[in-house]
Amino acid sequence: MSDVVSAHMRSLEANRLTDLQSDDRSVVKPWLGLRLGVTPPIPDLSAQGFTLVGSRVDYVLGKPVAAIAYRRNDHIVNLFIAQGDGAERDTRIRSMQGLNVELWSQGGLNLCVVGDLPSDQLQAVHDAFAASAAANT
């Protein structure tokens, strides 16, 4: 968890929020696919008040992961997506350094959403990802 919190903080402090600035999921998905070898689902969170800002490749535990940035009002949320080991893990919600962090696994992916929003608002990211993955978009 500390690795994803550090990656989130670096993205805000180093002005490295995105390598690709785009609010178009059809642009972000293939861009990540070319760089990571897999194309993660990119949930549409506009109905929950989150705007897609773009994406970047980041590193968590020394491995490349998709980092998808969303904005809600003045808040930035990073959704990290990494290939999992196939084991499904229950959702864990934690707070660290003034940020809320939600970790879970789904469909062979390890996921983590990090931001300074209340945990119930981060849950909207989790729920939208689950719905997006179920719809296979």
Going by pLDDT thresholds of 50, 70 and 90, the confidence category of residue 6 is: confident
Distance (Å, rounded) from C-alpha 3 to C-alpha 108?
20
Q: Which residues pair with 81 in a beta bridge?
A: 66, 111
pLDDT one-digit tens code per residue, 18-39:
889 999 999 999 999 999 988 8
Q: pLDDT at position 96, please?
A: 80
E strand or H helix at 67, and its extent?
Answer: strand 63-72
Domains of the chain: 2-119 (3.30.200.100)
Residue 66 pLDDT: 94
User: Is-contact 133 105, C-beta < 8 A?
Assistant: no
77-128 tens-digit pLDDT: 999 999 887 666 777 878 888 889 998 888 888 899 999 999 888 888 888 8
The pLDDT score that the predictor gives to residue 75 is 93
